[in-house]
Chain A
Amino acid sequence: MANTDTLDLKPTPRDSPRPDQFLRGAKTPFKSGLLSTCLLFLPPALLLFTVFVTLPILESGWYSFFNWNGYGQLQLKHWINFDNYIQALTDPIFGHSLINNLFIILVSACIQLPIAMWVALLISDRSRNSLVFRAIFFVPYILADVVAGLIWKYLYDGDYGLVAMVYGWFGQPAPFVLAKVGWATAAILLVIVWKYFGFHMALFIAGRQGIPSDVIESAKIDGASHWQVTRHVVLPMMRPVIVLALFFSILGSLQQFDMIYALTGGGPLNSSHSAVSYLYTFGIKRMRVGFGSALGVILFIICVLVMMFYKRLFMRESETGKA
């Protein structure tokens, strides 16, 4: 790869009408230019990345073995071995948070992605109507998560909002959905579907438009019905995009925080936390640096595993593609 995407700096004499003398003389300034350019262009990125990304990740690993509140010097007497990890992994609330993360992924895979695909296939052509619908479906996605959370907090409010109105039609007092264990989690899941399905739709549209039209035309000429074309040509060809969307769902679930913070704050009874909102509530808010770092490490390991799994899936795909 390094050979294909870089520019060969030494023009061969055959390519160039200029005399060898010039080229040999020109080689030196290029090389010194190379060094000084690198010294000017790379350090900002390397410095910022190292200071705010790499070192913190490594420090997470280090801090996670301490019982430290972040104030004063970190001392070896605060060393507590794996206690933070043990505490996290045996805390039923953390377990429940991870299960909620799993729920988010499941709902995304089983409800959100199929809806997104359905809609995407309906409006993947380039007609004006389709463009309008596409723009509308994407609107929830561009809202900030806290805004989406607040809007739905209002809609779910048992005294005001949509839920109250629907119950009002039947003369019933409305429940406070966000204050009920179980219901709160379901309510969050619904908001997540509402907010993110447009994103997956846009992904699928991009994927659908990447399929060459002659493939579909020839299938149609062979007498395949619309459904058959979709089932046996379009969907299989969109496999990489589907895998990618699933991957984004998993990563998105592992990052989910803002919306939960705005909707329930993890309540009632800590039943609607995600991994990150758990980390915020029990690590950051209480300044338990060691415990929070251990949670960070656990999240990090999960992310790396997901990434490795994704890469393997993809590599196998490209291998079979070649074969």
Chain B
Amino acid sequence: MRPRLFTYYRWLFLFLAAGLCLLPLWATFIGGFKTTGDLRTNALGLPKQWVSENYLSILHEARFWQMLGNSTFIAFFTVLLVLIISSMAAFIFAHLRFAGKRFIADYLAIGLTFPFATAILPVFIRVRDLGLLDSLWGVILPQVAFQLSFSIVLLRGFFAELPKELFEAALIDGCSYRKMFLQIVLPLSRPILATVGVLALVGSWNNFLLPLVMINRDSLYPWPLGIMQYQGQYGTDWGKVLAFVSLTIVPAVGFYLLAQKQIIAGLTAGAVKG
């Protein structure tokens, strides 16, 4: 039995920590409803007078929806390509046997070693030479490429654990590899596909450095660039900026609440894999 004191201190500590976690978010959300004068004197309390104009003006701006659209486009094709390309490669590594397989698998895993910032300038030159600069594909393709290593490692581990008897039976019945992949492996691997997909989605949605380097045109900005531009434009008109920030938090938190399991599983996947 745990002593009573421990229980009290435990709750006190947890509530305090939770408060510190959420306080900045609360201040941001509520700050969007305040006038500038109110913000100066009253950071945490409810607004003296509720102003909804900050929020409404942003929601009426075409720019806001455009950058969410850009981010959605980038994220959609990133997730799609990551899932298709890495699951095909992982299938080969998990279930086929041929000379040199180990070498190719190791080659594709070297991406685990370093962050993409180390190669960003050559990537920029390559994207420019391919004529993809200032286009959404100039963000998508490098992003997918840098996501491959980890995705393949995760998928491969899962594919290899699937019951072997299934594949033996399928092969004896004359099932082709392609059919085996599409009709047996993929349907059985939904949990790990969800994890990998969520991981790619979160990474893409929040990516900042890559679009910062690749995209110049305002109309192509994904939201992290847009929000920085907005802040630069309105400076310390914090009411506006905070409303903007809050509106971008909403989809993130909503998605988190929906896919909490996959998100945490994906982001801590390294721990499970050891």
Contact with A along B176-197 (1 / 0, CB 8 A): 1110010000000000000000
Contact with B along A145-167 (1 / 0, CB 8 A): 11100111111010111101100
B119 contacts A42, CB within 8 Å? no
Residue of A nearest to B168 (CB): A11
A26 contacts B174, CB within 8 Å? yes
Q: Measured between alpha carbons, how far is A53 from B119 in the docked complex, in Å?
A: 8
A24 to chain B, nearest CB (A): 13
Determine whether A215 belongs to the interface, using a CB cutoff of 8 Å to chain B. no
* One of A93-101, A135-143, A179-187 at the interface: A135-143
Q: Measured between alpha carbons, how far is A300 from B212 in the docked complex, in Å?
A: 21
Determine whether B62 belongs to the interface, using a CB cutoff of 8 Å to chain A. no
Contact with B along A100-122 (1 / 0, CB 8 A): 00000000000000010001001
For A33, list chain B residues within 8 Å (CB). Answer: 176-178
Q: Measured between alpha carbons, how far is A70 from B123 in the docked complex, in Å?
A: 12
- Main SS at interface, chain A: helix
B122 contacts A160, CB within 8 Å? no
For A151, list chain B residues within 8 Å (CB). Answer: 24-25, 27-28, 245
A160 contacts B236, CB within 8 Å? yes
Residue of A nearest to B127 (CB): A52
Q: Measured between alpha carbons, how far is A7 from B95 in the docked complex, in Å?
A: 5
Contact with A along B200-218 (1 / 0, CB 8 A): 0010011011001100000
In the complex, chain B residues 101-150 whose Cβ is within 8 Å of any chain A Cβ:
101-102, 104, 107-108, 110-111, 113-126, 128, 141-142, 144-146, 148-149
Residue of A nearest to B125 (CB): A70
For B17, list chain A residues within 8 Å (CB). Answer: 115, 119, 137
Q: Measured between alpha carbons, how far is A255 from B119 in the docked complex, in Å?
A: 12
Q: Measured between alpha carbons, how far is A42 from B271 in the docked complex, in Å?
A: 28
B96 contacts A37, CB within 8 Å? yes
B256 to chain A, nearest CB (A): 5
Number of interface residues of B (CB under 8 A): 106
B227 contacts A146, CB within 8 Å? yes
Determine whether B56 belongs to the interface, using a CB cutoff of 8 Å to chain A. no
A248 to chain B, nearest CB (A): 7
Determine whether A65 belongs to the interface, using a CB cutoff of 8 Å to chain B. no
A33 to chain B, nearest CB (A): 5
Contact with A along B259-274 (1 / 0, CB 8 A): 0100110011011101
Determine whether B51 belongs to the interface, using a CB cutoff of 8 Å to chain A. no
A5 contacts B160, CB within 8 Å? yes
Determine whether B40 belongs to the interface, using a CB cutoff of 8 Å to chain A. yes
For B241, list chain A residues within 8 Å (CB). Answer: 150, 154
- Interface core residue of A45, A49, A153, A284 (most chain B CB under 10 Å): A45
Using known A-B contacts A139-B22, A160-B236, A276-B209, determine if residue A165 contacts B44 with beta carbons closer than 8 Å: yes
A7 contacts B146, CB within 8 Å? no
Using known A-B contacts A157-B238, A160-B43, A258-B224, determine if residue A45 contacts B88 with beta carbons closer than 8 Å: yes
B224 contacts A296, CB within 8 Å? no
A5 to chain B, nearest CB (A): 4
For B111, list chain A residues within 8 Å (CB). Answer: 49, 53
For B84, list chain A residues within 8 Å (CB). Answer: 44
Of the candidates A11, A45, A54, A155, which one forms a contact with B86 in the assembled complex, judged by CB atoms under 8 Å apart?
Answer: A45
Q: Measured between alpha carbons, how far is A161 from B227 in the docked complex, in Å?
A: 19
Determine whether A177 belongs to the interface, using a CB cutoff of 8 Å to chain B. no
Using known A-B contacts A30-B171, A41-B92, A147-B245, determine if residue A142 contacts B209 with beta carbons closer than 8 Å: no
B121 contacts A293, CB within 8 Å? yes
Q: Measured between alpha carbons, how far is A168 from B208 in the docked complex, in Å?
A: 35
**4 closest pairs, A vs B, by CB?**
A52-B145, A56-B122, A144-B206, A56-B119
The chain A residues found within 8 Å of chain B, CB to CB, are: 2, 5-9, 11, 16, 18, 26, 29-30, 33-34, 37-38, 40-42, 44-46, 48-49, 51-57, 59-60, 63, 70, 115, 119, 122-123, 133, 135-147, 150-155, 157, 159-162, 164-165, 168, 194, 198-199, 202-203, 206-207, 226, 240-241, 244, 248, 251, 254-255, 257-258, 261-262, 276, 279-280, 283-284, 289, 292-293, 296-297, 299-300, 303-304, 307
The chain B residues found within 8 Å of chain A, CB to CB, are: 2, 6, 10, 13-14, 17-18, 20-25, 27-28, 31, 39-44, 84-86, 88-89, 91-92, 94-98, 101-102, 104, 107-108, 110-111, 113-126, 128, 141-142, 144-146, 148-149, 152, 160, 164, 167-168, 171-172, 174, 176-178, 181, 202, 205-206, 208-209, 212-213, 224, 227-228, 231, 236, 238, 241-242, 245, 248-249, 252-253, 256-257, 260, 263-264, 267-268, 270-272, 274
12 A-B pairs whose Cβ atoms sit less than 8 Å apart in the complex:
A37-B177, A49-B107, A57-B114, A133-B18, A137-B18, A139-B22, A160-B238, A161-B43, A203-B271, A206-B268, A262-B228, A303-B115
